[in-house]
Amino acid sequence: MESVPTAWAVRTETEAEVPTGHAQPVQRGAGLRTYLAPKLPAGPIVASRTPAVRLRSLVGPRQRTAAKTIGTRLMAPRSRRRFQELLGGGPLLLNLGSGTYNAPGWVNIDLWGLHAAWGVQPDVIWDLRRPLPLPDGSVDAVFLEHVLEHLPAPVGLAAVDQAFRLLRPGGVLRISVPDFGRYAREYAARKTAPTAPGVIDAVRPGRPTDLLALAEVVYDHGHVSIWDDETLVVLLEAAGFTDVAPSGFGAGRVGPSPDSPQRQPESVYVEGVRPA
C-alpha cells in the first residue's frame, strides 16, 4: 500500500535533512526552522513541541481576545456610568482600542485586560463592536491606532459607521494602521534591485525572507485584515465621511496629536470629517 504523503507534516530539528549537493545554503533552511518554531498553531500537527510552545498555542491572540470580551461584558454597568460622566465636560476625544498607550487629552477606551501589567489603565473599558452608550453627535474626534487590522474588514466598516454616528458635524475620524501597501511595494522593489533600508529593515529586520516579514503583517499579532492608504480612504468614504485624505505622523486636524511615536515607522494615517 502506498504511504500517505506527509509533505505538510512539520518535522523536528533532528529529522531535518539537507540533501547532499543541494544548492540552498544550510543556514537559510535552519534559520527558517528556528523562525517558524514559536509560531506553531494549536491543533493536531506532526511535530514534537516543547511545553512552552504548547502553552503559547493554547492562549493565542484569539483566546486572549475571547477572555477580554467576557471581562469587558462584566464591566459594562460601571463603564456606562463612566461614559455618562464624560458628557458635557468639554471636547470629547475618543481613542478606541488604546491598548497600553494612553493618548494625553483623549478618553482612552479598550477591552478589559492586563493593561495594569504595563502600568497603564484605559479610562473606560468597552468593546467597540458594541454601540458606545453615548448620544449621536456627542463626540469631537475619534482615533483608532493599529486597531482596524485586528477586526475583520466588515467589522472595521461597522466601527467606522459607529464613529460617524458619534461624531458631531465637523468632527474628525483619524485612523492609523500598518501600511501593508508600503510593505508590498518594498517587497516588489527589493526583488529587482538593491534599495535603501525601508520599512522591512526598520520594523522587521533579519527575517529569513522578505515574504515572511510581509506574512507577519497579515497573520501575526492577531491581525485579521490588511490595509493601505487607498483602502482606508474608500472605507471612510463608504461611511459618509468627507475631506478624506492621507495624513502624516503628528499632523492632522485634531490636537493634541494622539499618534504614538513607536507606531510611526510602519504606519499610514488617514482622516475624514463628518459632514453637516
Judged by the rule CB under 6 A, the positions of this chain that interact with ligand SAM are: 68, 97-99, 101, 110-111, 113, 127-129, 145-147, 150, 260, 263
User: Nearer to ligand SAM by C-beta: 150 or 274?
Assistant: 150
Give the angle subtended at the CA of 109 by the CAs of 106 and 113, to the nearest 5°. Answer: 140
User: Nearer to ligand SAM by C-beta: 247 or 260?
Assistant: 260
User: Nearer to ligand SAM by C-beta: 98 or 231?
Assistant: 98
Q: Rounded to the nearest whole angstrom, what is the least distance from the CB of residue 259 to ligand SAM in the complex?
A: 9
Q: Rounded to the nearest whole angstrom, what is the least distance from the CB of residue 76 to ligand SAM in the complex?
A: 12
d(CA 150, CA 99): 12
Q: Rounded to the nearest whole angstrom, what is the least distance from the CB of residue 99 to ligand SAM in the complex?
A: 2
User: Nearer to ligand SAM by C-beta: 67 or 215?
Assistant: 67
User: Nearer to ligand SAM by C-beta: 126 or 164?
Assistant: 126
Q: Rounded to the nearest whole angstrom, what is the least distance from the CB of residue 242 to ligand SAM in the complex?
A: 25
Quote the cell numbers at residue 147. 486597531
**What angle in degrees, to the nearest 10, is found between the helix axes of 180-192 and 210-219?**
170
Distance of CA 245 to the CA centre of its chain: 21
Q: Rounded to the nearest whole angstrom, what is the least distance from the CB of residue 231 to ligand SAM in the complex?
A: 18
User: Nearer to ligand SAM by C-beta: 106 or 191?
Assistant: 106
Q: Rounded to the nearest whole angstrom, what is the least distance from the CB of residue 260 to ligand SAM in the complex?
A: 5
